[in-house]
Amino acid sequence: MQEEGIGPRGDEKFWKAIWTMKVPPKVRHFLWKFSRDILPTGVKVVTKNPQRSDECPFCDQKETQHHLFLECSWSSQIGRGSPWESAFTVHGSSDCMKLMAEVMKHESLDLEESWAMVLWAIWKEKNAHLFNGPKWPEDEILQRALSILDDYRKNQGPEEAVPGDA
């Protein structure tokens, strides 16, 4: 049985909502991978390259996507105190697509897009930490993600009218 608002992997409405978010294209691509749970986290990378570690670079836990974005003490402090802090709670699911659908069902579009930017910034910073050393101080990740979103929105110009909308 299907939960209301959460469709199967081919749910056209769900994917359309992701692909039409007013966030940079690389963030929409990231959300697609996040929703399909196919980001190359530690536990996935180690299956292809056993010399790599499956541990989170910030703690001693196995790095799954769910762990990195929702359980890790490092990433959970990034969204703490923000208006979308509730979006960083598990919503009773470890399925990333269901989590994304829940956020999209309960949050405003602005909060969805902000949450998406913060997820992307966490992923970006995690990879910078892993390969090049930290790029942004932890206490600046949230503000920098929102600043990037704000700059993106300012540079997009006026929205085009959709045929049939009057």
Residue 150, domain member (yes or no):
yes
The three-state secondary structure class of 133 is coil
The three-state secondary structure class of 62 is strand
Residue 65, domain member (yes or no):
yes
Span 37-55, average pLDDT: 93
pLDDT reported for residue 93: 53
* Residues 6 or more apart whose Cβ sits within 8 Å of residue 120: 23, 26, 27, 30, 31, 145
Residue 162, domain member (yes or no):
no
Interval 110-140: pLDDT, tens: 888 988 998 999 999 999 888 887 777 777 8
Q: Structural domain of residue 37, as residue ranges?
A: 12-154
Q: Note whether 78 and 69 are within 8 A (CB).
A: no
Q: Is the pTM of this model over 0.75?
A: yes
The rounded Cα 56 to chain-centroid distance in angstroms is: 17
Residue 7, domain member (yes or no):
no
Beta bridge partner(s), residue 55: 62
* Identity of the highest mean pLDDT range in 32-41, 86-95, 130-139: 32-41
Residue 47, domain member (yes or no):
yes
Q: Note whether 62 and 56 are within 8 A (CB).
A: yes
Q: Dihedral angle at the C-alpha atoms of 103, 64, 130, 137, nearest 10 degrees?
A: 40
Tokens 């939960």 locate to 3
Structural domains of the chain, count: 1
Residue 163, domain member (yes or no):
no
